[in-house]
Structure 1
Amino acid sequence: MTQLIGPIERLLAASNVRADDLTPRQHSAPRGFRIACDFRQQCMIKAPILCEFHSYAEYLYAALLEADPTVVSYVPQPFRLRVGVKRYTPDVYVLRHKATPQVVELKADPQQISAETTRSLTAFFADKLRAEYKVIPNNEVYQNEVLAQNWLRICQRLHLGRHLDTKPQEIDIMVDALAHPGSTIWDLIKPHHSTGFFEREIALWRKAHKGDLKLALTQNPLSYDTVVTL
């Protein structure tokens, strides 16, 4: 994050940014922009809407936020701003447990954003939202592509099972995981038992999503052989 020298410089930098509304909410892109960019949509969990992503990096980054149990919620395309005379929409607003909120921009090359613009946005979000402005290189996200793709699949399943009450199955899953360290997903959800299979599957994803269970998802695609630990 760019450091400002003092309050006067900070005030001047922040004054270069304008916004009509600073309530974080997703702003849909115009049809022409959707066609021009690498547009994707998916229902997520910590952002309980049909989320819009304008690049593959944004899409993967949202999945990594889902995988991080310290993340409480996030909002894609959260604000419409003007920086000087240019329109600007940051990629995502992130709330973490007991941490400073972040406004995140993903870029193939962080130097695509000028130092002056970064100073202005850093000062603006610090003053208006007590938030940190952060630019993340796309390559940093791509390094965790396998993990992100696995969590995109998990989010799809969680969305399908969003109306299920799985509290009893969650207890059973935790008891089994404690009794049998190093179990696989197959061992815990017992897909060969037709009764209650889907409920046990959703229960496992929910416990992993909360951080109560850890899944080995960084190296290989999600499968029944994925190892589960506490």
Structure 2
Amino acid sequence: MTKNKLLEVMTDKSVDFLRHPVCHHTPLSFRRKTNYYEQIMLKHPLPSPFHSLAEYLHGGLLEADPSVQSYVPQPYQFKINGKRYIPDVFVIRGNQKIVMEIKPEAQTPFHYEQYLEPFLHKYQIRFEVITNESILAQEQKAVNWLKIVQVLVAANKSRIRTTQLQDEIMSKLLMSDEGIELGDFIDSGDRQRTYATEVAVFRLAHAGLISLALEQSDLGFDTVLSL
């Protein structure tokens, strides 16, 4: 157990655990008290628990950000001033390690920040507070990406190969000045026939190699792809 004045790390792990955390299990009793969501993600390829709609949508936004390599929901268990506290998510973005807390704007500034920020800084980990409102403002984009993640997780499980298709899609986009609609790659009358192409498009987008217009409308056949 690591102590820092009024803050304790309750998980009995080495200092490396702070830099490489593991998702904490959410008890069934707590799930019933919260707006609980769970989904296998790509950048956290395990059942990922989210304790609110804002946390769940934020997971979708992390998947959409190609600069984010990985993240861990519910990463640590602290005790601060005698009260149990689990941050919402640990994120690796580029060469940065960040612990994030998601709160309604009315509940900021977050009163635990004064303890967490200096403690985590010793281990080259930043602490950030993100408001629910800033996430909900991007709800459409997040929902679309959560759907894409579901498709890609299933494709990875089935070991769908798409390298050649990805090259073909990139070649077509290189020759297009205005982008191409998703429906030009996917057969709306026979989705199964073009399933691998759909997966290829989503893999390119997830890697940040192409862009999908997902901010204003539902993911669909008229979604525009561009470089």
- TM > 0.5: yes
Per-residue CA deviations over 1:191-218 (Å, capped at 9, x if unaligned) read: 5577851111101000000010000000
**Larger CA deviation: 58-67 vs 22-31:** 22-31
Give the aligned partner of residue 125 of structure 1. Answer: 120
2:180–2:224 Cα contact (<8 Å) kept: yes
Length, aligned pairs only: 214
Question: CA 1:177–1:189 in 2, change beyond 3 Å: closer, same or farther?
Answer: farther
Query: Map of 1:146-185 to 2, 5 A cutoff?
Result: 146-162=140-156, 163-181=159-177, 182-185=179-182
TM-score, structure 1 as length reference = 0.88
Q: CA deviation at 1:102?
A: 0.7
Distance 1:111 1:121 in 2: 15
Question: CA 1:211–1:147 in 2, change beyond 3 Å: closer, same or farther?
Answer: same
Question: CA 1:196–1:15 in 2, change beyond 3 Å: closer, same or farther?
Answer: farther
Higher strand share: 2
| Secondary structure class of the residue paired with 2:44 | coil
Highest relative contact order (Cα 8 Å, sep 6+), 1 or 2? 1
1:110–1:135 Cα contact (<8 Å) kept: no
CA RMSD across the alignment: 1.7
Per-residue CA deviations over 1:112-138 (Å, capped at 9, x if unaligned) read: 732xx21110011111x3111111110
Q: Percent identity?
A: 36
| Secondary structure class of the residue paired with 2:117 | helix
Distance 1:141 1:121 in 2: 22
Give the aligned partner of residue 223 of structure 2. Answer: 226
Distance 1:194 1:87 in 2: 48
1:110–1:136 Cα contact (<8 Å) kept: no
Uncovered stretches (5+) of structure 2, i.e. residues with no partner = none
Per-residue CA deviations over 1:152-187 (Å, capped at 9, x if unaligned) read: 110011111112111111111111111234100111
Q: CA deviation at 1:111?
A: 2.7
Uncovered stretches (5+) of structure 1, i.e. residues with no partner = 1-12
Give the aligned partner of residue 135 of structure 1. Answer: 129
Of residues 196, 211, 214, the one that matches 2:211 is: 214
2:62 is aligned with what amino acid?
A: L
Distance 1:183 1:211 in 2: 16
Distance 2:182 2:82 in 1: 53
Give the aligned partner of residue 201 of structure 2. Answer: 204
Distance 2:57 2:85 in 1: 21
